[in-house]
Amino acid sequence: MSATSAHEHDLSHITPRDQAEILAQALPYIRKFHGKTLVIKYGGNAMTDPVLQQDFAEDIVLLKLVGMNPVVVHGGGPQIDAALAKIGKKGTFIQGMRVTDEETMDVVEWVLGGEVQQDIVGLINAAGGKAVGLTGRDGAMIRARKLKMLDKDDPAKEHDIGQVGEIESIDPSVVKALQDDAFIPVVSPIGFGERGESYNINADVVAAKLATVLGAEKLLMLTNIRGVLDKQGDLLAELTSRRVDELIADGTISGGMIPKIAGAIDAAKSGVKAVHIIDGRVPHALLLEILSDQAYGTMIRG
């Protein structure tokens, strides 16, 4: 049974009247977000499970067709690991960051800016959209510099993690030009330095910064968890920056969640109206978050 017919089968118990009611309920949200930019960080299971991939592509196309401007920023850690393993290279990490020498950077660029990006572009186009892949080099979009990583125990000591970058500036004009032409930009988190060198940048950070410079209405980050959870494992539906500081201090928020949340807070403080960390394992999570009053995941305000 194809994915489409499986989906159709699921709806057979809903009467036409109820279906119409469901569609009508989306109207206020379509009106509210019409013409607005939504930046979506795409990662986790939503990116690797074929059924969820199709749901994601359909959601993006639907949002574009009803007049919103989705911009996709993607990661690709597992795909990079798989490609490095193929050439017999073992990933090295310092304080959770991948050490990126020149050879690793070539692989990162080829995997993110090539394979992964084109897979996403293909999915969106197959669902009826017009996606265009970009890296930070295109339109001189993402200027970066080498990330200085200080030792967490001895701040006087600095680790060299190679071609890992932090964002110096983002020029969003290429994204705006594509949006105005009915295209859906798909951005790989690779920046370039003043000597033309490439930098691998955390995709959450790129999504947050891009949302800020585009003046996005929403930043939506797809993850593999229900949202931000408290110590008891219960979902925190809404967070402020002050509460986040407390949760980082007591260890509730740790590891890979820290850059995600830090980016979210920066975006919320810099004018992005709402930042949502949502569960990408839920089918059509994006549509449910944007077009219904069901709150999924955690919403962060500045």
Residues annotated within the binding site for substrate are 76-77, 98, 200
Between CA 294 and CA 246 the distance in angstroms is 27
Residues 6+ apart with CB under 8 A from 130: 124, 182, 183, 184
Q: How far is CA 57 from the centre of its chain?
A: 14
- The alpha-carbon radius of gyration of the chain (Å, integer) is 19
CB 39 within 8 A of CB 214: yes
Token pair for 24: 């009508």
Between CA 117 and CA 77 the distance in angstroms is 13
Between CA 252 and CA 178 the distance in angstroms is 40
Lookup result for tokens 């990490």: 93
Which neighbouring-strand residues pair with 200? Answer: 164, 190
Between CA 123 and CA 129 the distance in angstroms is 9
